[in-house]
């Protein structure tokens, strides 16, 4: 049976000399794997370039329950990027986002809230005209809502430490090593609480931004299996550390 669905490409890889397999998060079926035959041929109907990470697609697909690989009948870009392919900073953020999503999201069922969040974040990154240096930090914090470990509480004089094991701010320094000290806990709390429309006003120096990135990645690794091999944030750091 043929279904219409929107999809966000997470990851694609070569399957044979002419074909590829792509993992796409759809608004109708959640995360699905698709075999795209002939995508790497010069005159392919479904070109390999369609399946670049974070591309947003309108698709007609054949869907079989419990099948590990589905097939695509038709596909085209639902949104044409204005800046991501041409801006090294946005491009590095999109690469990082795709890496996180391909490892963290495994839902083979529809989740309209998560799909809309991802859709809106991708468009926001592409259309953002102002400062984006903290965009990836905001993305990670907000994504944790949908993964089930959004940080609880906030920094104040009574709760000056963030415990990454418990996922909450606490009044005492934890006995284990997985916590944020007081200055970093305060910055993390500010990042958590800042409204989405005001993220561009969040001014973090390079050192604090890098500390927060490493800390949030560590938090993800503690809370979510399968994220131990994330390395793309190192590329992101190098790009933003350049003068």
Q: What pLDDT band is residue 132 in, cutting at 50, 70 and 90?
A: confident
Return mean pLDDT, the chain: 90
Q: Give the tens place of pLDDT for each residue, 21-48.
A: 999 999 999 999 999 999 999 888 999 9
> What is the 3-state secondary structure of 36-83?
ECCCCCCCCCCCHHHHCCCCEEEEEEECCCCCCCEEEEEEEECCCCCC
d(CA 111, CA 146): 9
Q: Give yes or no for a contact between 5 and 29, defined as CB atoms under 8 angstroms apart.
A: yes
Q: What pLDDT band is residue 198 in, cutting at 50, 70 and 90?
A: confident
For the chain, give every domain's residue range: 2-77, 84-241
- Judged by phi (left if over 0) then psi (alpha if -120 to 50, else beta), residue 54 lies in left
Q: Which helix (H) or strand (E) holds 2?
A: strand 2-14
Q: What pLDDT band is residue 72 in, cutting at 50, 70 and 90?
A: very high
Domain 2-77: which topology? Answer: OB fold (Dihydrolipoamide Acetyltransferase, E2P) (2.40.50)
Instruction: Name the pTM for this structure.
Output: 0.91
- In this predicted structure, the answer to whether residue 243 has a pLDDT above a threshold of 60 is no
- In this predicted structure, the answer to whether residue 129 has a pLDDT above a threshold of 70 is yes
d(CA 230, CA 102): 10
Q: What pLDDT band is residue 9 in, cutting at 50, 70 and 90?
A: very high
- In this predicted structure, the answer to whether residue 170 has a pLDDT above a threshold of 90 is yes
For domain 84-241, which architecture applies? Up-down Bundle (1.20)
- In this predicted structure, the answer to whether residue 242 has a pLDDT above a threshold of 70 is no
Are domains 2-77 and 84-241 of this chain identical in fold? no
Give the pairing of strands 70-77 and 30-36.
Answer: parallel
Q: Give the tens place of pLDDT for each residue, 110-124.
A: 899 999 999 999 999
pLDDT at 117: 96
Tell me which range, 159-163, 201-205, 222-226, 239-243, is most confidently predicted by mean pLDDT: 159-163
pLDDT at 67: 87
pLDDT at 43: 87
- In this predicted structure, the answer to whether residue 79 has a pLDDT above a threshold of 60 is yes
């Amino acid at each position: 049976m043929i279904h219409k669905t929107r999809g966000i490409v997470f990851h694609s890889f070569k399957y044979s000399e002419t074909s590829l397999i792509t993992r796409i998060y759809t608004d109708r079926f959640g995360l699905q794997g698709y075999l795209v035959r002939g995508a790497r041929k010069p005159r392919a109907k479904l070109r390999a370039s369609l399946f670049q990470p974070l591309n947003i697609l309108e698709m007609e697909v054949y869907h079989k329950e419990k099948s590990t690989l589905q097939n695509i009948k038709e596909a085209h870009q639902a949104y044409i990027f204005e800046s991501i392919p041409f801006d090294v900073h946005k491009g590095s953020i999109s690469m990082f986002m795709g890496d996180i999503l391909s490892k963290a999201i495994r839902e083979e069922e529809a989740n309209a809230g998560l799909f809309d969040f991802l859709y809106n974040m991708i468009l926001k990154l592409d259309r953002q005209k102002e400062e984006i240096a903290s965009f990836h930090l905001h993305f990670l914090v907000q994504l944790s809502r949908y993964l089930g470990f959004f940080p609880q509480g906030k920094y104040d004089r009574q709760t000056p430490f963030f415990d990454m094991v418990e996922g909450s701010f606490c009044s005492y320094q934890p006995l284990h090593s997985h916590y944020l000290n007081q200055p970093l806990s305060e910055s993390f709390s500010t990042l958590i609480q800042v409204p989405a429309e005001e993220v561009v006003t969040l001014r973090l120096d390079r050192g604090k931004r890098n500390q927060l990135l490493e800390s949030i990645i560590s938090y993800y690794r503690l809370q979510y299996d399968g994220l131990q091999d994330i390395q793309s944030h190192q590329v992101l750091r190098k790009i933003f550390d350049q003068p």
